[in-house]
A and B are shown apart, each in its own frame.
Chain A
Amino acid sequence: MREVYVAGIGITTFTRLEYPLVEIASYASMMALKDAGITEVDQLYVANMGAPRVNHQTALGSAVADSLSLLPAGAAAIENGPASGAAAIKAGFQAVASGMDDVVLVAGVERMREVNNLEATDFVATLTHPLAEYIYGVTLPAHAAMFARLYMEKYGVTERHLAMVGVKNQNAALNNVWAHLQQGITLEGILDSPEAMTNNPYVAEPLRFFDACPVSDGGAAIILVSKEKAQELGRPLIRLSGIGQATDTHAVFERQEPTDLPAVHKAAQDAYEMSGLRPEDIDVAELHDAFTILEIAESEEVGFFPKGEGHIALEKGETALGGRIPINVGGGLKGRGHPVGATGVAQAWEIVTQLRGDGEKRQVEGARTGLTLNFGGFGNNVVCLIFVRED
């Protein structure tokens, strides 16, 4: 198996975008191509979750290939729920590692604000079990709320801890010009003041408004190449050194212990094993904080902290910029936004930015290794990636 490197990255602003879906993907891709200094690719994968339903568009791979004049490159769309982005990166990795392709473009894109909030929530909820969950009205905020309630009862996590994640990540987004939310928040404003309940009402108790990521449009892209090509292009040598992917029961109620996320654990362990690294070797991480509780739980499952102690590490500032393992320094899903199909690629974009030392105000000093965790379903399809700077 050949080694695979990142030669280019690109991203659009995450917000409500007024441009067609393919243009969003193309813009991010053009930035990545320009960053890599190339105009041709062998293959491209476009990660997306909702286009057929939300944007009434299918076959995004060929649409983006034509839009970018990348013909006759091979092209395909990849749909894997909110983990589509990292799943597409995995496919790109396999194409290069196998020797089939030398240059692969992976783009992630979503335009969720085409539809109203109710329809957006509903389309994301289609990833739940159709007979055991969806028909009873379960949505992702509802899943996350039930998970949070159990976590609170079992491990002593409080609403304050959840709010602390929200404040950390939304304020981190202020250092990321591409992030959706450009408005700082404080614990006083969203939790402690007499106005907090109006500023930050419950959306699915115990989760409040500022515990959830925004609904965003956006695109991100990454170029994967062989080592020879990476050296030829002269970009910083950042290797995609580890990949793990794991699944879990479709219906959450079938899990033995609903506060455990075994697919997260397995995906991370496999990625560590492949890269030859351990959790303590990771300098910076992007976890899938679609809801604040998830950052806490995932930080434990990927091995940064013992189970049930993620919130304690948070309290100590260990997950903040300057802490022991900075998490979501670009805002995470909470602050950067969560155009579902683009998220996994955007996480990789952030880690590569960090490993190149281009993080500006949010730069983790001396970062040489980074981990992304892209959480699909409610933890039933998870992809973990590890990147290492080699030069």
Chain B
Amino acid sequence: MSVDLEKILRPTEAPMKPYEPKYMLLASGEAVVVRQVFRDEIPDLLKHVEPLIHVERDFYDLVASRVYAELLGYYQYRFQDQYVLALQVDGELAAIVNGRQVNPRLGLSLHTLALRRGLRIGAHGFAAKMEYHIDTLGHDEVLIVAESPIGFRRWMIEYKLEKRFDIPHELGGVPSWALTRELFDRARSKLVVGRRPVPPELLAKAKEKILPPSDPPTPALDPLAATRAKYDPTATALVQQRWEMEKGADSA
């Protein structure tokens, strides 16, 4: 009797509603399209992610390595219920965000990789994936971790995430944080933007081809840069301030 081992290796994918594309204007006046990409486009993303594995700055090396593995895992049917959103400016890849559904009530954020810095592109991408989890997939909450101080400032501090330290996150087994529906609703007016439907020509341009980023992050000239990025005094100060306030509230 023969066994189709591939069938055993492949996860059974849960049905997930697709993400409805949207677009928004950046401070530069450029329009960025956020859309879901599927398996057929993953090879186009991989070639733009790979160079960032060698950028030892702001944790690009770590995040790009993991994103590469996640995308490859998705492409080769070795990742359970993953989705990928791409942000494109005039066809050019500006950011990739991904996550997965743990169960119909729980989402898990994987990564936010900005290929173009500034202009809140990464922040817009993160907001879009939270929107996907909460509004489209109907998750009650999303488990999140940050692997860089910049991410910590953007997610944990700006969204005022709740601690779920008893739950190890799938990324490295570190303590999780959570965005609940309530927190998302509170952040919605300030942090979540975008317009639908996307004008057909804008969407067509994005779908036509995923163009390489014109100004991607590059390796730091100064070897100290990688070390220095490991400590972000602003995030440290802000979170310390918040925890002090929480302690005060608890004791009151």
A interface, CB within 8 angstroms of B:
18-19, 115-119, 183-186, 188-190, 193-201, 210
Binds A, one of B24-32, B45-53, B131-139, B202-210: B24-32
**23 A-B pairs in the complex with CB atoms less than 8 angstroms apart:** A18-B222, A19-B222, A115-B233, A116-B236, A116-B237, A119-B233, A119-B237, A185-B29, A186-B27, A186-B29, A188-B25, A188-B29, A189-B27, A189-B28, A190-B27, A194-B25, A195-B24, A195-B194, A196-B25, A197-B190, A198-B190, A199-B26, A210-B27
Q: Write out the residue numbers on chain B whose beta carbons fall within 8 Å of the beta carbon of A190.
A: 27
Q: Write out the residue numbers on chain A whose beta carbons fall within 8 Å of the beta carbon of B27.
A: 183, 185-186, 189-190, 199-200, 210
In the complex, what distance in Å separates the CA atom of A169 from the CA atom of B237? 31
Q: A185-B27, A185-B29, A186-B27 are in contact. Are A199 and B119 (CB under 8 A)?
A: yes
Q: A18-B222, A116-B234, A117-B234 are in contact. Are A198 and B26 (CB under 8 A)?
A: no
Q: Is the CB of B193 within 8 A of A186?
A: no
Q: A18-B228, A116-B234, A118-B237 are in contact. Are A189 and B190 (CB under 8 A)?
A: no
Q: Is the CB of B29 within 8 A of A116?
A: no
Q: A116-B236, A197-B190, A199-B119 are in contact. Are A184 and B224 (CB under 8 A)?
A: no
Interface residues on B, range: 20 to 34
Q: Write out the residue numbers on chain A whose beta carbons fall within 8 Å of the beta carbon of B232.
A: 116
Name, among A119, A186, A195, the residue most crowded by chain B CB atoms within 10 Å (CB to CB).
Answer: A195
Expressed in whole angstroms, the minimum distance between the Cβ of A139 and any Cβ of chain B is 15
Residue B191 at the chain A interface, CB threshold 8 Å: yes
Q: Write out the residue numbers on chain B whose beta carbons fall within 8 Å of the beta carbon of A18.
A: 220, 222, 224-225, 228
Q: Mark B1-42, 1 if CB is under 8 A from A, else 0.
A: 000000000000000000000001111111000000000000
In the complex, what distance in Å separates the CA atom of A379 from the CA atom of B119? 31
Q: Is the CB of B119 within 8 A of A183?
A: yes
Q: A183-B119, A186-B29 are in contact. Are A198 and B193 (CB under 8 A)?
A: yes
Residue B163 at the chain A interface, CB threshold 8 Å: no
A19, A183, A198: the one contacting B191 at CB < 8 Å is A198
Q: Write out the residue numbers on chain B whose beta carbons fall within 8 Å of the beta carbon of A196.
A: 25
Q: Is the CB of B25 within 8 A of A189?
A: yes
Q: Write out the residue numbers on chain A whose beta carbons fall within 8 Å of the beta carbon of B193.
A: 194-195, 198
Q: Is the CB of A183 within 8 A of B233?
A: no
In the complex, what distance in Å separates the CA atom of A105 from the CA atom of B65? 48
Q: Is the CB of A201 within 8 A of B233?
A: no
Residue B195 at the chain A interface, CB threshold 8 Å: yes
- Within residues 231 to 252 of chain B, which ones have a CB less than 8 A from any CB in chain A? 232-234, 236-238
Q: Is the CB of B233 within 8 A of A186?
A: no
Residue B118 at the chain A interface, CB threshold 8 Å: yes
Q: Write out the residue numbers on chain A whose beta carbons fall within 8 Å of the beta carbon of B186.
A: none
In the complex, what distance in Å separates the CA atom of A111 from the CA atom of B163? 35
Q: Is the CB of B28 within 8 A of A183?
A: yes
Residue B120 at the chain A interface, CB threshold 8 Å: yes
Which A-chain residue is minimally distant from B228 (CB atoms)? A18
Expressed in whole angstroms, the minimum distance between the Cβ of B116 and any Cβ of chain A is 10
- Within residues 152 to 200 of chain B, which ones have a CB less than 8 A from any CB in chain A? 190-195
Which A-chain residue is minimally distant from B119 (CB atoms)? A183
Q: Write out the residue numbers on chain A whose beta carbons fall within 8 Å of the beta carbon of B220.
A: 18
Query: Other than the known A185-B29, A198-B120, what 20 A-B pairs have Cβ atoms closer than 8 Å?
Result: A18-B228, A19-B222, A116-B233, A116-B234, A116-B236, A116-B237, A119-B233, A183-B27, A183-B119, A184-B29, A185-B28, A189-B25, A189-B26, A194-B24, A195-B25, A195-B193, A198-B193, A199-B26, A199-B120, A200-B27
In the complex, what distance in Å separates the CA atom of A322 from the CA atom of B54? 44
Q: A183-B118, A193-B25 are in contact. Are A118 and B222 (CB under 8 A)?
A: no
Which A-chain residue is minimally distant from B236 (CB atoms)? A116
In the complex, what distance in Å separates the CA atom of A185 from the CA atom of B28? 4
Which A-chain residue is minimally distant from B221 (CB atoms)? A18
Which A-chain residue is minimally distant from B238 (CB atoms)? A118
Q: Write out the residue numbers on chain B whose beta carbons fall within 8 Å of the beta carbon of A195.
A: 24-26, 193-194
In the complex, what distance in Å separates the CA atom of A117 from the CA atom of B194? 29
Expressed in whole angstroms, the minimum distance between the Cβ of A3 and any Cβ of chain B is 42
In the complex, what distance in Å separates the CA atom of A117 from the CA atom of B157? 14
In the complex, what distance in Å separates the CA atom of A272 from the CA atom of B25? 45
In the complex, what distance in Å separates the CA atom of A190 from the CA atom of B24? 12
Q: Write out the residue numbers on chain B whose beta carbons fall within 8 Å of the beta carbon of A118.
A: 234, 237-238
Expressed in whole angstroms, the minimum distance between the Cβ of B38 and any Cβ of chain A is 27
Expressed in whole angstroms, the minimum distance between the Cβ of B240 and any Cβ of chain A is 10
Q: Is the CB of B224 within 8 A of A186?
A: no
Q: A118-B237, A198-B120 are in contact. Are A189 and B228 (CB under 8 A)?
A: no
Q: Write out the residue numbers on chain A whose beta carbons fall within 8 Å of the beta carbon of B24.
A: 193-195
Which B-chain residue is minimally distant from A186 (CB atoms)? B29
Q: Write out the residue numbers on chain B whose beta carbons fall within 8 Å of the beta carbon of A210.
A: 27
Q: Write out the residue numbers on chain A whose beta carbons fall within 8 Å of the beta carbon of B29.
A: 184-186, 188-189
Which B-chain residue is minimally distant from A181 (CB atoms)? B118
Which A-chain residue is minimally distant from B226 (CB atoms)? A18
In the complex, what distance in Å separates the CA atom of A186 from the CA atom of B35? 24
In the complex, what distance in Å separates the CA atom of A18 from the CA atom of B24? 34
Q: Write out the residue numbers on chain A whose beta carbons fall within 8 Å of the beta carbon of B119.
A: 183, 199
Expressed in whole angstroms, the minimum distance between the Cβ of B10 and any Cβ of chain A is 40
In the complex, what distance in Å separates the CA atom of A118 from the CA atom of B153? 13
Expressed in whole angstroms, the minimum distance between the Cβ of A12 and any Cβ of chain B is 13
Which A-chain residue is minimally distant from B117 (CB atoms)? A183
